[in-house]
């Protein structure tokens, strides 16, 4: 089996090099060719055009064939045939690539070229860094809001949500949408939403919760605010019937005319609300009827707290083995520029990396949605957002998979919110202990973080006594 794997890998590299050689024969020898590994979003064409306008001697091309296959990417980069610029969609991917020695340390170049951490949103800055060094810079930044269809609200005689609404207000709004008959006779669902784990994470942030203790040595998913967040998710789905269950989501996707995803369900006028980033409006030209009836508002807030969600960034790093690192650095410089920011604003691809270009709704208004009031909540959301915390002592990809599996069990009523949270915390804490036992580098990190020598029973101090009593079952429990 091992020889088969190596044979297949060798064949892949040979075929790839042959293909590259074929492409190279058609290249202009007077241009520098850069490969940008990203997705095939149609807005990439405008973004590339903006870069080549500033640098006409460069030819930037999208390489989206690798998709999410990190193993192929690592092999390509290590073999000297990888892309020059690599989009990294989360902190997990960045850390994997950094640990593999693939990413260029941007710290010596970033500040003098204008794409240092200080040039982007405070909430996202920590997620560009590792061990005090910068490894990526945002292509766009996102924080979710509640987008709503005014026509559906009008049809049911329900007031539009306001910026100061609470989760109790949200539940009452959902109740009215369900109980008030529509004037048109059409049936609507309250919320087009199927990203269960994403919503739970936004609820956790809004509740003031964390994934880990500050030193990263212990899970906080069994803390009261975490359990209350998952309980609210469960209540929205099974008690208040605002959030579609997995069965209902599958049924909606299977019905003719309903589309095959949340965006299509909402955009076709079948749902009152959807929780999503500003990037949603890229799809609006495909649904012209909804363009005039869109509204947006920040997430509801919990008692005594402000509205707060998690933030994310699609951010570009540079292949350390690229023969065109200097040119690739200019692409990151371009990402922080007014020229690139205007393309993001006009095209609707979330928020521009440079916050100076997204100061308020007026600066974000575009031809797709010209109303500044629609865009303002996304500015407010990123200004109050918080990036999800991470731990250096566990594979975050593994942790998120466990989180997703447990939330799906809650959604399918296989497990209670409290049991799911307690089980996740136990699994994560055990994995952290095992990782420290196996890896000397993590034991060294433990000593740097705690200022104490590592001992086999360290966990008795840092992980014992972390199980929390069950919070009240009401959706507003803190």
Task: Parse the chain into domains and list their residue ranges.
Answer: 19-142+313-384
Q: Choose among 386, 391, 311, 353: nearest CA to 92.
A: 391
pLDDT at 23: 46
Q: Please, which residues bridge with residue 58 across strands?
A: 32
- What's the CA gap between 431 and 92, in Å, rounded? 17
Cα Dmax for the chain: 70
CATH says 19-142+313-384 is which class? alpha beta
Cα-based distances in Å from 417 to 198, 310, 404, 414, 423: 15, 20, 13, 10, 10
Q: Where are the beta strands (DSSP E) in 117-168?
A: 129-130, 133-134, 137-143, 145-149
Report the candidate in 281, 259, 277 with the shortest Cα–Cα distance to residue 268. 259
Cα–Cα dist 230/232, whole Å: 5
According to the model, what pLDDT value does residue 455 have? 96
Q: What is the pLDDT of residue 26?
A: 61
pLDDT at 210: 96
Residue ranges for the chain with pLDDT beneath 70: 1-27, 65-70, 252-260, 465-478
Q: What is the pLDDT of residue 454?
A: 97
Helices (H), 55-185: 70-78, 91-99, 107-113, 150-156, 167-179
- What number of CA atoms fall less than 13 Å from residue 303's CA on the CB side? 7
Comparing CA positions, the residue from 181, 163, 189 lying closest to residue 255 is 189
Per-residue pLDDT reduced to its tens digit, 228-275:
999 999 999 999 999 999 888 777 665 543 334 889 999 999 999 999
pTM of the full predicted structure? 0.87
* pLDDT, position 248: 83
Asked if residue 291 lies in contact with residue 151, where contact means CB atoms within 8 angstroms, the answer is: no
> At a CB cut-off of 8 Å and minimum separation 6, what does 329 contact?
106, 109, 113, 318
- The number of beta carbons lying within 10 Å of the beta carbon of residue 238 is 13
């Amino acid at each position: 089996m091992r020889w088969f794997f190596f044979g297949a890998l060798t064949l892949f590299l040979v075929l790839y090099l042959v293909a590259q050689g074929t492409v190279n024969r058609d290249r202009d020898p007077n241009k520098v060719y850069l490969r940008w590994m990203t997705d095939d979003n149609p807005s990439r064409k405008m973004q590339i055009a903006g870069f080549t306008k500033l640098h006409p001697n460069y030819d930037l091309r999208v390489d989206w064939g690798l998709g999410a296959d990190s193993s192929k990417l690592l092999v390509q980069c290590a073999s000297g045939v990888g892309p020059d610029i690599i989009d990294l969609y989360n902190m997990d991917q960045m850390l994997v690539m950094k640990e593999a020695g693939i990413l260029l340390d941007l710290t010596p170049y970033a500040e003098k070229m204008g794409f240092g951490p200080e040039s982007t949103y405070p909430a996202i800055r920590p997620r560009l860094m590792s061990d005090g060094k910068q490894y990526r810079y945002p292509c766009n930044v996102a924080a979710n809001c509640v987008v709503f269809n005014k026509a559906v609200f009008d049809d049911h005689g329900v007031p539009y949500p306001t910026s100061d609404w609470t989760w109790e207000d949200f539940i009452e709004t959902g109740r009215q949408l369900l109980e008030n008959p529509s004037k048109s006779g059409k049936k609507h669902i309250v919320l087009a939403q199927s990203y269960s784990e994403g919503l739970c994470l936004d609820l956790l942030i809004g509740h003031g919760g964390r994934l880990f203790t500050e030193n990263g040595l212990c899970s906080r998913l069994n803390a009261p605010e975490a359990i209350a967040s998952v309980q609210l998710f469960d209540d929205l789905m099974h008690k208040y019937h605002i959030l579609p269950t997995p069965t209902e989501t599958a049924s909606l996707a299977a019905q003719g005319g309903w589309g095959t995803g949340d965006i299509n369900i909402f955009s076709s006028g079948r749902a009152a609300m959807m929780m999503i980033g500003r990037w949603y409006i890229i799809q609006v030209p495909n649904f012209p009827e909804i363009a005039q009836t869109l509204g947006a508002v920040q997430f509801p807030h919990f008692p005594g707290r402000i509205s707060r969600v998690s933030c994310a960034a699609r951010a570009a790093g540079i292949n350390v083995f690229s023969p065109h690192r200097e040119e690739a650095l200019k692409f990151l410089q371009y990402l922080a520029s007014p020229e690139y920011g205007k393309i993001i604003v006009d095209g609707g691809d979330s928020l521009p990396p440079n916050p100076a270009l997204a100061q308020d709704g007026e600066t974000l208004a575009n031809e797709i949605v010209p109303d500044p009031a629609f865009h303002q909540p996304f500015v407010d959301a990123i200004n109050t957002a918080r990036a999800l915390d991470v731990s250096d002592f566990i594979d975050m990809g593994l942790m998120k998979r466990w989180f997703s599996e447990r939330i799906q069990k809650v959604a399918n009523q296989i497990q209670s919110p409290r049991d799911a949270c307690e089980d996740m915390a136990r699994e994560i804490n055990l994995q952290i202990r095992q990782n420290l036992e196996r890896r000397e580098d993590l034991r060294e990190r433990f000593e740097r973080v705690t200022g104490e020598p590592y001992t086999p029973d360290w966990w008795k101090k840092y992980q014992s006594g972390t199980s929390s009593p069950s919070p009240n079952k009401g959706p507003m429990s803190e």
